[in-house]
Structure 1
């Protein structure tokens, strides 16, 4: 083998150093614009359309809107496909700091004699009736629509409706309430014009700092253009009667304005409020546990010294406390899968805190989570096999197969059935068949073999030896009070951990349903750590109370006490969706049902 050329090593080193200097940690480098640069074009992207009154999102091309002649879809990663992101280029294009007024995009014509035109117009009307929302993106930022509501409060929404409806009683629905000119009964009003405002930071070109876009807002309007070739954007609203009896033309236009603005407006969240609640709940559980343990240990020590009373409480069950649980194989499988999910969650949040999974890099969070879960099959197999051997189990083949296929199989069947419904309805949220095949390949080709490897090493090691010998005859459990019975204890055990994440869960749900970027990963990681501590403290505390009541069946109870937090997590979005007219139920069942199953498999 020939030695490497020193000049080649030097050039390679320079390449590595230069690449590291150009590395941008948060995920995607911001785009800089220069007035003298001829490449100052700004591309507006469109995403899927959804509605709070419907569970099915649709692609931009599903509606009869203006399309880009050079349509190009940016490459999508696994996370974007799983979350139903459908980003594509749009015909709305403009240059940096080049204001434009009433620019025509295209004209859509509908002929009463054409069945295809009737279907297109009916689908557009249905979208306006269900208040479907556009979601546009400029420089990887959502284009927001800000409007004034009661008490002169300003509300901003990261999407805007395609139109609105005034029903047969003359009552305006949804966005029709913002304009008094929308007053015709049984009439649709399409928003065919948008006033776009691009906010940018001017920078300092003398120091090499170019301008950067910091925000994008728009105001949708409905305009009936009298002259389709030279629109003025000052006419009456574009009304579409409910009955399609005459030919119709809809001209789409836009205006764009650039404004100087500071780098970022401050966004205030109730972080301190949430942090106080989290720390208070965790501190309360820790204080109760420490005071109770200290008091009982002091009392038992005093009884030992006096030797005046018979042993009672948890001392009497020391010979039964390590008795193998019922359905030990199922418990070991759940604990193995839970270890896999826990490590995956920890690493994902940690990388997100460092900035590697920036929300600007769409789909990176989900892609990272899926890849990590696949690669962590070894931990699931090892933990499951080791615990099953500790319980004295002998059906090691069944244990390995169930560890590899039970929980992931339930999740995949649930996901596939929901995806099948979306396929039938033609929704953009349906995952393509090729992606499903890729997921199966990752599961069977990587995760399952790694699970077998972990189980092999787990069964090779001896089981965990209990510190005390187990009695041959099980001790009879005395009559339990209401609070020490299994079901009430498990239900109460999940309340405190759920209280720790309640405020943070509000921000997460609000970001998901409102298509906003969630970037408080540092605080989320802190809440995750405190959640783990609180679950541990609540489980230890309740198990201690049960042992004091001479109930030694603690294995499943300790698992379900903190695991019941997942049940509260499951029902909280149901309440959220009920208050939001029951929308997004299908997506909730896909993603939060998946999350619940993963947490239960903990």
Structure 2
């Protein structure tokens, strides 16, 4: 009993560690901002977005909202842009201070904001955005304004980030759609006493930010601009300007029918009054460190699905593990005197007389590395005459010892791609670790992308090292050219694609488009920081490190590759092998896709589950690479270099196919530009993923090949 107690404690500790990793912190416990009574609280406006479009727009770029006045609110002038990190810019954020006056603890029944005069083009724009279901995102104390929902049993409450800028209704008489703009906003800020000394001094922290909208016609307002009765049912503010009959008659002089509305700018306008209310509600049921939980409560039931995804991954990985063990066991037997080798573990050759005047082929093994011991029928070494032919008594992967480490075709591109793949491996590992530790979380807006770019750039030194050393192993001499290819090939292709897509988005005046300054900054980041780091790593790897040593020498003449089975050919092997890792991760991919393409908020938070699935997925790629490489070698095919990359990255094809299915079955995206952005960015993401897993597949295959041929030499 005593001896079993420590093992049980270790098991419990391991389980608790796994559970804590899964639940991981996604909210940090620092940077708490305390507010005292009557202290101004800045309200910031960000952007509008929709799950039907990939185009986002800055809130103050909308032609039908109140423009900023420039007056100071909470010590900041309205309309002033807030400094953004790279991730925020890339996700389309455009955060600016607003004219909303909010002070801690001060309720405001109604506060007039402005009356904005809009023309027909602005009204048309408002109608289009309402039709597409756009919602606005405002920010208070780093919390996005949310629309609150309650479950059917009224036991749980959860938030959906953003609030609608308007709604559509239908006329009971004509059945035609009518559009109303939400011109009265009610802000509800939930607070509690601040922890520690600040709380004892009267400080309060904000733990919830809710936004409620209402559309109120201009006729139902008093002299101050506020609605006469906020709590009664009032007619909404319709986005409609009556047609000017005089203008229409002059435009259609010979027509007896005049349209009800025309887009011609005839000077007609519609004045939209805006107002807001503010209420503070104390809520001690929410801890500050848990204030983001309400944004994720609607996903609590999905935990069961996450666990099913993990179980599914473990089952597939376990089956592959059994296969890998069988492969290694079979290889061990072949090396140690079974399945076609002699008792000493060396390959046995027999001789026979050539028939039908056949010429004796030259046996490359005789001049190779001494791996083969040539024995006659009497057990002694014979001198082979020109009229005799050697026939190998074995087949399979052992015959490739003189060609297995022959440099691959297009080796000048192979090494730079593997170097970039090592960058991606380092970046992905760092992101998952930081996310599980809680450093990267939804409250760190844009942090995931910003840190990812930083890790990728910093890993340039790793990329240069591996690329140059592999390039040196292939016999390359122009290491500077290899350095430039490593630093510019893959990152340059990514940047060029993003730049071309950016031209389409620029034409739509969307905030999704990268500003020119950001593009210049990315170029500077690539040329002034990443390139020197790649150069340093490449210089060190080429001049201060030896090439990777191989256990066998390479023959001068390549061995002919026999006809291959269809399933070992590059395309089919990659598709078949890639389906297995895809089957491991596809359930978790559904949640990632929902966060990226449907919610638009990007608030994916279950990094613990994602990390476990990712680890199992990488382990699956490793095992698939071993099995597929072994099958390939058994077919006497020594062109395994590129094949290992394709096999490792084959799951990216299935993921892209899954993106297409997701687009047509789950999304409701309209417009050519939105579709172009979806498929282009999905393709880029799958390319990055494919290069990452392809690099893992190559490293695994390389280690496996060196191991089994090194075992023969050692034996």
TM-score (norm 2): 0.71
Deviation for aligned residue 1:478: 2.7
Query: What is the aligned partner in structure 2 of residue 494 from structure 1?
Result: 578
Specify which of 216, 219, 225 is matched with residue 212 of structure 2.
Answer: 219
Query: What is the aligned partner in structure 2 of residue 173 from structure 1?
Result: none
Query: What is the aligned partner in structure 2 of residue 157 from structure 1?
Result: 160
The alpha-carbon distance between structure 1 residues 543 and 43, as it changes in their structure 2 partners (threshold 3 A), is same
**CA distance in structure 1 between the aligned counterparts of 2:243 and 2:58, rounded to whole angstroms:** 25
Specify which of 313, 320, 330 is matched with residue 278 of structure 1.
Answer: 313
Deviation for aligned residue 1:354: 2.7
* 8 Å Cα contact 1:43/1:89 also seen in 2: yes
Q: Are 1:582 and 2:617 an aligned pair?
A: no
Deviation for aligned residue 1:299: 6.5
**CA distance in structure 2 between the aligned counterparts of 1:144 and 1:440, rounded to whole angstroms:** 37
The one-character-per-residue Cα deviations of 1:509-539 (angstroms, maximum 9, x if unpaired) are 2222311422333443333333322211111
Query: What is the aligned partner in structure 1 of residue 639 from structure 2?
Result: 553
**CA distance in structure 2 between the aligned counterparts of 1:25 and 1:519, rounded to whole angstroms:** 9
Query: What is the aligned partner in structure 2 of residue 462 from structure 1?
Result: 546
**CA distance in structure 1 between the aligned counterparts of 2:497 and 2:407, rounded to whole angstroms:** 32
**CA distance in structure 1 between the aligned counterparts of 2:334 and 2:529, rounded to whole angstroms:** 54
Q: Are 1:190 and 2:181 an aligned pair?
A: yes
The one-character-per-residue Cα deviations of 1:65-110 (angstroms, maximum 9, x if unpaired) are 1244331322112221222211122333333343333433222234
Alignment of 1:490-529 (within 5 A): 490-513=574-597, 514=599, 515-529=601-615
* 8 Å Cα contact 2:100/2:113 also seen in 1: yes
Query: What is the aligned partner in structure 1 of residue 256 from structure 2?
Result: none
Query: What is the aligned partner in structure 1 of residue 108 from structure 2?
Result: 100
**CA distance in structure 1 between the aligned counterparts of 2:125 and 2:499, rounded to whole angstroms:** 27
* 8 Å Cα contact 1:186/1:242 also seen in 2: no
Q: Are 1:347 and 2:421 an aligned pair?
A: no
Deviation for aligned residue 1:156: 5.0
Specify which of 449, 456, 465 is matched with residue 366 of structure 1.
Answer: 449
The alpha-carbon distance between structure 1 residues 98 and 211, as it changes in their structure 2 partners (threshold 3 A), is same
The alpha-carbon distance between structure 1 residues 456 and 189, as it changes in their structure 2 partners (threshold 3 A), is same
Deviation for aligned residue 1:262: 2.9
Indicate the SS of the match to 2:588. Answer: helix
**CA distance in structure 2 between the aligned counterparts of 1:374 and 1:439, rounded to whole angstroms:** 11
**CA distance in structure 1 between the aligned counterparts of 2:82 and 2:634, rounded to whole angstroms:** 61
* 8 Å Cα contact 2:187/2:279 also seen in 1: yes
Deviation for aligned residue 1:293: 2.9
Query: What is the aligned partner in structure 1 of residue 55 from structure 2?
Result: 56
| Gap runs ≥5 in structure 1 | 1-23, 111-116, 171-180
* 8 Å Cα contact 2:441/2:605 also seen in 1: yes
Indicate the SS of the match to 2:98. Answer: strand
Specify which of 544, 547, 558 is matched with residue 630 of structure 2.
Answer: 544
* 8 Å Cα contact 1:334/1:600 also seen in 2: no
**CA distance in structure 1 between the aligned counterparts of 2:235 and 2:189, rounded to whole angstroms:** 26
Specify which of 513, 516, 528 is matched with residue 430 of structure 1.
Answer: 513
**CA distance in structure 2 between the aligned counterparts of 1:30 and 1:402, rounded to whole angstroms:** 46
* 8 Å Cα contact 1:182/1:237 also seen in 2: no
Query: What is the aligned partner in structure 2 of residue 317 from structure 1?
Result: 400
Indicate the SS of the match to 2:99. Answer: strand
* 8 Å Cα contact 2:310/2:612 also seen in 1: no
Number of residue equivalences: 558
Deviation for aligned residue 1:62: 1.6
Specify which of 236, 249, 274 is matched with residue 252 of structure 1.
Answer: 274
| Gap runs ≥5 in structure 2 | 1-25, 70-76, 245-267, 351-391, 693-715
Specify which of 285, 288, 291 is matched with residue 326 of structure 2.
Answer: 291
Please tell me the root mean square deviation across aligned C-alpha atoms, in Å.
Answer: 3.2
* 8 Å Cα contact 2:34/2:198 also seen in 1: no
Indicate the SS of the match to 2:42. Answer: strand
Deviation for aligned residue 1:203: 6.0
**CA distance in structure 1 between the aligned counterparts of 2:237 and 2:540, rounded to whole angstroms:** 70
Of 323-332 and 265-274, deviating more is 265-274
Deviation for aligned residue 1:475: 2.5
The alpha-carbon distance between structure 1 residues 573 and 253, as it changes in their structure 2 partners (threshold 3 A), is farther
Structure having the higher Rg: 2
* 8 Å Cα contact 2:184/2:216 also seen in 1: yes
Deviation for aligned residue 1:208: 3.9
The alpha-carbon distance between structure 1 residues 295 and 182, as it changes in their structure 2 partners (threshold 3 A), is farther
Deviation for aligned residue 1:128: 1.6
